Amino acid sequence: MRIKLDDSCLVVVDIQEKLYPHISEHFQMMRKCRTLIKGAFELGLRTIVTEQYVKGLGHTIEEISELWDNFQSIEKMSFSCCGEAEFMMKIEEHYTRNIILCGIESHVCVLQTAIDLQEAGHQAIVVVDAVSSRNDDDKMIAIERMKQEGVRLATVESILFELAKVSGTDQFKAISKLVK
């Protein structure tokens, strides 16, 4: 299955102030997410950001939210993004088959979202170097579970080049600079 730009959307899951510092290898994960988001912008990929229980976990970290001129997010209480009606409306208003996921935590919100997207008829793609959990074992088991559920796995570089499709374009040159 090829992942095509015109049938894909990126979802940035819950990279929030109070949880982020406790995430394993959080700085590397944040850098990969920034590269993925910047690449999505270069490619014109629609992007949705979620925030879990803002009152308790704070807002999206500045290193992520500053990438948008007019940052907007969807607040949710459900661990799965699919449990939030506004999220599902955004996903379905411009139906895309492939939903690319990055963020935290791998074993809770990312996992439950991926499974629910699969169940709703979408193809979830988890960018493994752009997700993390507080505990490495939780991430490892979550990735294994996702594979069992039919979720596709990718890395930041592989997904961006797959979406770009060809070399020699301005988009390809921009993506090449981002991943170096």
Residue-range domains of the chain with CATH:
5-179 (3.40.50.850)
pLDDT mean values, one per 10 residues, the chain (180 residues): 92 98 98 98 96 97 97 97 96 92 98 97 97 98 97 98 93 93
pLDDT of residue 93: 87
The 10 Å Cβ neighbour count of residue 103 is 28
Which member of 76, 81, 102, 129 is catalytic? 76
Taking every pair of Cα atoms in the chain, the longest distance, rounded to a whole number of angstroms, is: 46
Cβ atoms within 10 Å of 71's Cβ, excluding its own: 13
Which runs of E-coded beta strand occur in the chain?
A: 8-13, 47-52, 74-76, 98-104, 123-132, 152-154
> What pLDDT does residue 180 have?
87
Active site residue 69: no
CA distance 112 to 131: 13
Q: Does the active-site annotation cover 14?
A: yes
76 in catalytic set: yes
